[in-house]
Chain A
């Protein structure tokens, strides 16, 4: 079964540095998402992306964050100047866009900010 892949599985970065998290969605999916889960807390929606633009974003997704689909296969989340509170698990998901089909999640990238 096709799956969403995320790299790296764990990223350690100094506070203030830029970080890029990468995702390869399922190839025939059109909708892409990023979610965040701070340790021990619930999964929170960050952003959805369709047709090369953001379709919806949460209040968490401020100017420090950006998303891009640079080459038609990868889907990236960039955090420009990381803060300690950005430490979390970041999940990428993709979907066909039809509500009766569940989103497929990647295994996540654990981001640790020092």
Chain B
């Protein structure tokens, strides 16, 4: 069963527009971590953010912000004022207490930012 669902396959925006990436997860654990990773065209995986299941406080870091809602099992990610360098595939991932360390990734969302 799919543990992490990223329904958006691709999002195209023009530079300076905001873009929000959706992530819905499924777990029976009460303790878990959620992550966002970025994969630029060069292929490496870049860690962006993690949140544990007890911390629903949303956060802003520069142009990035996160919206974690346990009630809807969602962990959405927003890039404000997008730039061409933000063009990448973004993956949401889940790590459950029953299996710490095993990251379960969503299918990814391709973000294309055009000038």
Interfacial chain B residues near A106, Cβ < 8 Å: 44
Contacting pair A102 B105 (CB below 8 A): no
Residues of B in contact (CB 8 Å), total 23
Instruction: Please measure, in the bound complex, the distance between the C-alpha atom of A56 and the C-alpha atom of B102, giving whole angstroms.
Output: 8
Residues of A in contact (CB 8 Å), total 26
Known contacts: A31-B101, A91-B45. The answer to whether A100 contacts B52 by CB under 8 A is yes
Contacting pair A48 B102 (CB below 8 A): yes
A25 interface contact, C-beta 8 A: no
Instruction: Please measure, in the bound complex, the distance between the C-alpha atom of A108 and the C-alpha atom of B43, giving whole angstroms.
Output: 8
Contacting pair A89 B101 (CB below 8 A): no
Instruction: Please measure, in the bound complex, the distance between the C-alpha atom of A97 and the C-alpha atom of B99, giving whole angstroms.
Output: 11
Contacting pair A97 B104 (CB below 8 A): no
Residues of A within 8 A of B (CB): 31, 33, 35, 41-45, 48, 55-56, 89, 91, 93, 95, 97, 99-100, 102-108, 110
